[in-house]
């Protein structure tokens, strides 16, 4: 994120209310915004995104997005981690909010670094025994897909395709490995 967009995002100190006026660059070249009145430092840290790869009866749960970006494209259930949550707790909450599906005992499956958009994705894998789903404000359709029926050309992002490719490869081999990768895909509106 450049300086101008950061300054538009944070204009005033959340501790004392003073205007943020100074930019400090540390020895690694990172820019930090500092309140001159109380010396509070404001960092532009990455956002944490959680997704779930949920299997039921040999099918994978996908949601069709009803909100920007990528309205009408299919994705794994997920969203932003909130304050005071664990990553798996956020994944459980997001899955319930978007699909109506209750999941427990998730295992971390993959991690993607997305430095171009300042995000980190944690993808969890789990199983459920009930195919009941519902839509939400964020999803226009929720459905379980077998591998041959997945709408590959209508997946929201390349990293969703990568996760599903890994999953079906691991499923065939009978061994689920933790995976990590970097992606430089930029999310269009």
Reduce the DSSP state of residue 97 to 3 states and report it.
helix
Distance separating the N- and C-terminal Cα atoms of the chain:
16
Name the band, by pLDDT with cuts 50, 70 and 90, for residue 187. Answer: low
For the chain, what is the radius of gyration of the CA atoms? 19
Give the mean model confidence (pLDDT) for residues 14-40: 82
Q: What is the pLDDT of residue 6?
A: 40
| pLDDT tens digits along 110-164 | 999 998 888 999 999 999 988 899 999 999 999 999 999 999 999 999 999 999 9
Q: 22 falls in which pLDDT band (50, 70, 90)?
A: low
Domain with CATH 3.90.79.10 in the chain: 47-182
Q: Rounded to whole angstroms, how far apart are CA atoms 175 and 57?
A: 18
Residues contacting 134, CB < 8 A, separation 6+:
99, 100, 142
Put simply, whether the predicted model's pTM sits higher than 0.75 gets the answer: yes
Distance CA 95, CA 139 (A): 11
In words, the CATH class of domain 47-182 is: alpha beta
Mean pLDDT, range 31-60, rounded to an integer = 90
As a whole number of angstroms, the distance between CA 147 and CA 161 comes to 12
Cis omega (within 30 of 0) for bond into 181? no
Task: For Cα atoms 115, 180, 88, give the angle at the middle one, nearest 5 degrees.
Answer: 90
User: How many whole angstroms from its chain centre is CA 149?
Assistant: 24
The stretch 100-119 carries a mean pLDDT of: 93
């Amino acid at each position: 994120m450049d300086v101008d967009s950061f300054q538009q995002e944070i204009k005033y100190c959340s501790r004392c209310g003073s205007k943020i006026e100074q930019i400090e660059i540390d020895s690694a070249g990172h820019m930090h915004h500092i309140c001159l009145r109380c010396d509070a430092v404001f960092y532009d840290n990455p956002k944490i995104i959680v997704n779930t790869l949920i299997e039921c009866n040999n099918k994978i749960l996908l949601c069709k997005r009803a909100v920007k970006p990528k309205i009408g494209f299919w994705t794994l259930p997920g969203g932003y981690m909130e304050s005071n949550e664990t990553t798996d707790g956020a994944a459980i909450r997001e899955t319930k909010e978007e699909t109506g599906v209750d999941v427990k005992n998730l295992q971390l499956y993959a991690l993607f670094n997305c430095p171009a958009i300042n995000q980190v994705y944690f993808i969890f894998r789990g199983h459920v025994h009930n195919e009941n789903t519902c839509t939400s404000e964020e999803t226009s359709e929720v459905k379980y897909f077998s591998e041959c029926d997945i709408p590959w050309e209508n997946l929201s992002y390349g990293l969703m395709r990568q996760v599903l490719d890994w999953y079906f490869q691991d499923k065939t081999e009978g061994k689920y490995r933790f995976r990590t990768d970097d992606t430089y895909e930029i999310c269009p509106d």
